[in-house]
Amino acid sequence: EPEVTQTPSHQVTQMGQEVILRCVPISNHLYFYWYRQILGQKVEFLVSFYNNEISEKSEIFDDQFSVERPDGSNFTLKIRSTKLEDSAMYFCASQTYPQGTQYFGPGTRLTVL
Amino acid sequence: KQEVTQIPAALSVPEGENLVLNCSFTDSAIYNLQWFRQDPGKGLTSLLLIQSSQREQTSGRLNASLDKSSGRSTLYIAASQPGDSATYLCAVDTGANSKLTFGKGITLSVRP
Protein backbone atom coordinates (compact mmCIF):
# COMPACT_ATOMS: atom_id res chain seq x y z
CA GLU A 1 0.00 0.00 0.00
CA PRO A 2 1.41 3.43 -0.92
CA GLU A 3 2.56 5.55 1.99
CA VAL A 4 4.07 8.91 2.77
CA THR A 5 7.74 8.71 3.73
CA GLN A 6 9.85 11.26 5.60
CA THR A 7 13.57 11.65 6.15
CA PRO A 8 15.40 11.88 8.42
CA SER A 9 13.50 10.24 11.25
CA HIS A 10 15.43 12.32 13.78
CA GLN A 11 17.42 15.51 13.24
CA VAL A 12 19.50 17.19 15.89
CA THR A 13 20.76 20.70 15.16
CA GLN A 14 22.25 23.71 16.88
CA MET A 15 20.19 26.84 17.36
CA GLY A 16 20.57 29.18 14.39
CA GLN A 17 21.33 26.42 11.90
CA GLU A 18 19.26 25.68 8.81
CA VAL A 19 17.46 22.38 8.48
CA ILE A 20 15.62 20.76 5.59
CA LEU A 21 13.01 18.13 6.30
CA ARG A 22 12.12 15.90 3.41
CA CYS A 23 8.93 14.14 2.45
CA VAL A 24 7.89 11.89 -0.41
CA PRO A 25 4.10 12.08 -0.73
CA ILE A 26 1.97 9.33 -2.24
CA SER A 27 2.62 9.44 -5.96
CA ASN A 28 -0.78 10.41 -7.38
CA HIS A 29 -1.56 12.95 -4.65
CA LEU A 30 -1.77 16.64 -5.50
CA TYR A 31 -2.26 18.37 -2.15
CA PHE A 32 0.50 18.52 0.42
CA TYR A 33 0.73 19.66 4.02
CA TRP A 34 3.13 20.16 6.89
CA TYR A 35 2.02 19.89 10.51
CA ARG A 36 3.98 19.88 13.72
CA GLN A 37 3.44 18.47 17.18
CA ILE A 38 5.34 19.88 20.14
CA LEU A 39 5.73 17.24 22.84
CA GLY A 40 2.53 16.89 24.82
CA GLN A 41 0.60 19.35 22.66
CA LYS A 42 -1.87 19.20 19.81
CA VAL A 43 -0.91 18.59 16.21
CA GLU A 44 -0.82 22.04 14.56
CA PHE A 45 -1.23 22.99 10.91
CA LEU A 46 1.72 24.81 9.34
CA VAL A 47 1.13 25.06 5.61
CA SER A 48 -0.78 23.64 2.66
CA PHE A 49 0.64 23.44 -0.86
CA TYR A 50 -0.98 22.83 -4.22
CA ASN A 51 0.04 23.43 -7.82
CA ASN A 52 3.51 24.58 -6.76
CA GLU A 53 2.35 27.29 -4.45
CA ILE A 54 1.26 27.79 -0.87
CA SER A 55 -2.52 27.61 -0.48
CA GLU A 56 -2.64 28.60 3.17
CA LYS A 57 -0.21 29.07 6.03
CA SER A 58 -0.64 29.45 9.75
CA GLU A 59 0.72 32.24 11.91
CA ILE A 60 3.47 29.84 12.99
CA PHE A 61 4.75 29.68 9.41
CA ASP A 62 6.76 32.90 9.43
CA ASP A 63 9.62 34.05 7.21
CA GLN A 64 11.94 31.45 8.74
CA PHE A 65 9.93 28.69 7.10
CA SER A 66 9.67 27.78 3.44
CA VAL A 67 8.37 24.86 1.42
CA GLU A 68 9.33 23.56 -1.95
CA ARG A 69 8.53 20.77 -4.35
CA PRO A 70 11.87 20.61 -6.14
CA ASP A 71 10.94 17.70 -8.38
CA GLY A 72 7.99 15.43 -9.08
CA SER A 73 8.38 13.40 -5.93
CA ASN A 74 9.87 15.37 -3.04
CA PHE A 75 8.25 17.98 -0.80
CA THR A 76 10.53 19.83 1.60
CA LEU A 77 10.21 22.07 4.63
CA LYS A 78 13.13 24.39 5.33
CA ILE A 79 13.70 26.23 8.56
CA ARG A 80 16.34 28.89 7.95
CA SER A 81 17.52 29.70 11.46
CA THR A 82 16.24 27.23 14.00
CA LYS A 83 15.11 28.26 17.47
CA LEU A 84 14.79 26.16 20.59
CA GLU A 85 11.00 26.37 20.28
CA ASP A 86 11.14 24.73 16.85
CA SER A 87 11.85 21.42 18.57
CA ALA A 88 8.90 19.23 17.65
CA MET A 89 7.75 16.31 15.55
CA TYR A 90 7.09 17.48 12.00
CA PHE A 91 4.57 15.56 9.92
CA CYS A 92 4.05 15.68 6.19
CA ALA A 93 0.66 14.72 4.75
CA SER A 94 -0.76 14.32 1.28
CA GLN A 95 -4.19 14.07 -0.25
CA THR A 96 -5.66 13.17 -3.62
CA TYR A 97 -8.40 15.80 -3.66
CA PRO A 98 -9.64 18.54 -1.32
CA GLN A 99 -11.63 17.33 1.67
CA GLY A 100 -10.42 13.78 1.10
CA THR A 101 -8.46 11.64 3.52
CA GLN A 102 -5.09 13.08 4.50
CA TYR A 103 -2.35 10.49 4.75
CA PHE A 104 0.44 11.25 7.17
CA GLY A 105 4.08 10.27 7.15
CA PRO A 106 5.88 8.83 10.20
CA GLY A 107 7.31 12.23 11.12
CA THR A 108 10.72 13.80 11.66
CA ARG A 109 11.68 14.53 15.23
CA LEU A 110 13.60 17.82 15.24
CA THR A 111 15.68 18.62 18.30
CA VAL A 112 17.21 22.09 18.50
CA LEU A 113 20.02 22.47 21.05
CA LYS B 1 -11.67 30.04 15.46
CA GLN B 2 -12.31 26.31 15.44
CA GLU B 3 -11.54 24.48 18.68
CA VAL B 4 -11.57 20.70 19.02
CA THR B 5 -11.87 19.05 22.42
CA GLN B 6 -11.45 15.43 23.41
CA ILE B 7 -12.38 14.38 26.93
CA PRO B 8 -11.18 12.48 28.87
CA ALA B 9 -7.47 12.73 28.11
CA ALA B 10 -6.93 9.11 29.08
CA LEU B 11 -9.03 5.99 29.40
CA SER B 12 -8.26 2.49 30.71
CA VAL B 13 -10.60 -0.42 30.03
CA PRO B 14 -10.45 -4.21 30.32
CA GLU B 15 -10.08 -6.27 27.18
CA GLY B 16 -13.34 -7.09 25.44
CA GLU B 17 -15.18 -3.96 26.48
CA ASN B 18 -17.05 -1.84 23.95
CA LEU B 19 -16.11 1.80 24.28
CA VAL B 20 -16.90 5.25 22.96
CA LEU B 21 -14.44 8.06 22.45
CA ASN B 22 -15.86 11.57 22.21
CA CYS B 23 -14.86 14.58 20.17
CA SER B 24 -16.48 18.01 20.14
CA PHE B 25 -15.87 21.03 17.96
CA THR B 26 -17.04 24.62 18.23
CA ASP B 27 -17.74 25.57 14.60
CA SER B 28 -20.26 23.32 12.86
CA ALA B 29 -19.27 24.60 9.40
CA ILE B 30 -17.00 21.65 8.65
CA TYR B 31 -16.25 19.78 5.44
CA ASN B 32 -15.35 16.54 7.16
CA LEU B 33 -14.02 14.96 10.33
CA GLN B 34 -11.21 12.45 10.44
CA TRP B 35 -10.22 10.03 13.22
CA PHE B 36 -6.57 9.03 13.57
CA ARG B 37 -4.59 6.62 15.67
CA GLN B 38 -1.14 7.54 16.97
CA ASP B 39 1.20 5.05 18.59
CA PRO B 40 3.91 6.46 20.91
CA GLY B 41 6.56 8.34 18.95
CA LYS B 42 4.95 7.42 15.65
CA GLY B 43 2.97 9.05 12.87
CA LEU B 44 -0.77 9.36 12.43
CA THR B 45 -2.73 6.51 10.91
CA SER B 46 -6.05 7.48 9.37
CA LEU B 47 -8.90 5.35 10.70
CA LEU B 48 -12.06 6.88 9.32
CA LEU B 49 -13.18 9.99 7.48
CA ILE B 50 -16.76 11.24 7.68
CA GLN B 51 -17.90 13.81 5.18
CA SER B 52 -20.17 16.57 6.50
CA SER B 53 -23.15 15.08 4.64
CA GLN B 54 -22.70 11.68 6.29
CA ARG B 55 -23.88 10.50 9.68
CA GLU B 56 -21.51 7.58 10.20
CA GLN B 57 -18.73 5.45 8.78
CA THR B 58 -17.67 1.92 9.68
CA SER B 59 -14.42 0.03 9.31
CA GLY B 60 -14.17 -3.37 10.96
CA ARG B 61 -14.65 -2.96 14.70
CA LEU B 62 -14.69 0.83 14.42
CA ASN B 63 -17.72 3.01 13.89
CA ALA B 64 -17.60 6.78 13.78
CA SER B 65 -20.63 9.02 13.95
CA LEU B 66 -21.03 12.70 13.25
CA ASP B 67 -23.63 15.16 14.51
CA LYS B 68 -22.57 18.34 12.80
CA SER B 69 -25.28 20.54 14.22
CA SER B 70 -24.33 19.77 17.79
CA GLY B 71 -20.61 19.76 17.06
CA ARG B 72 -19.98 16.19 18.14
CA SER B 73 -18.44 12.99 16.87
CA THR B 74 -17.95 9.64 18.53
CA LEU B 75 -15.64 6.75 17.73
CA TYR B 76 -17.06 3.42 18.85
CA ILE B 77 -14.63 0.54 19.30
CA ALA B 78 -16.22 -2.87 19.63
CA ALA B 79 -14.67 -5.72 21.60
CA SER B 80 -11.51 -3.82 22.50
CA GLN B 81 -8.14 -5.59 22.38
CA PRO B 82 -4.74 -4.75 23.92
CA GLY B 83 -3.53 -3.92 20.40
CA ASP B 84 -6.04 -1.04 20.35
CA SER B 85 -3.95 0.75 22.98
CA ALA B 86 -2.88 4.05 21.42
CA THR B 87 -3.82 7.71 21.30
CA TYR B 88 -6.91 8.50 19.23
CA LEU B 89 -7.11 11.93 17.64
CA CYS B 90 -9.98 13.60 15.90
CA ALA B 91 -9.49 16.42 13.42
CA VAL B 92 -11.90 18.65 11.54
CA ASP B 93 -11.49 20.19 8.13
CA THR B 94 -13.12 23.60 8.07
CA GLY B 95 -11.22 25.38 5.34
CA ALA B 96 -11.26 25.51 1.59
CA ASN B 97 -7.59 24.52 1.78
CA SER B 98 -8.32 21.43 3.88
CA LYS B 99 -6.24 22.36 6.88
CA LEU B 100 -7.04 20.06 9.78
CA THR B 101 -7.65 21.30 13.32
CA PHE B 102 -6.85 18.60 15.85
CA GLY B 103 -7.96 17.68 19.31
CA LYS B 104 -5.35 16.72 21.85
CA GLY B 105 -6.31 13.07 21.70
CA ILE B 106 -7.49 10.38 24.07
CA THR B 107 -4.88 7.89 25.24
CA LEU B 108 -6.52 4.49 25.43
CA SER B 109 -5.11 1.59 27.39
CA VAL B 110 -6.77 -1.81 27.01
CA ARG B 111 -5.79 -4.14 29.85
CA PRO B 112 -5.44 -7.87 29.06
pLDDT digits (tens, 9 = 90+) for B11-63: 999 999 999 999 999 999 999 999 999 998 889 999 999 999 999 999 999 99
| Straight-line distance from the first to the last Cα atom of chain B, in angstroms, rounded to the nearest whole number | 41
A1 has a pLDDT exceeding 90: no
Q: Which residues of A touch B29 (CB under 8 A)?
A: none
Distance from C-alpha of B96 to C-alpha of B92, rounded to nearest angstrom: 12
Distance from C-alpha of A19 to C-alpha of A41, rounded to nearest angstrom: 22
A31 has a pLDDT exceeding 90: yes
Distance from C-alpha of B94 to C-alpha of B100, rounded to nearest angstrom: 7
Q: A55-111, pLDDT tens digit by residue? A: 999 999 999 999 999 887 899 999 999 999 999 999 999 999 888 899 999 999 999
**pLDDT number for residue B110:** 98
Q: Which residues of A touch B98 (CB under 8 A)?
A: 31, 33, 48, 95, 98-99, 102
Beta-carbon count within 10 A of B61 CB: 13
Confidence of residue B112 (pLDDT cuts 50, 70, 90): very high
Distance from C-alpha of B102 to C-alpha of A43, rounded to nearest angstrom: 6
| Residues 6+ away with beta carbon under 8 Å from B18 | B76, B77, B78, B79, B80
Determine which of B99, B102, B106 to mutate to test the interface with A (most A C-beta atoms within 10 Å).
Answer: B99
| Section B79-93 average pLDDT | 97
B95 has a pLDDT exceeding 80: no
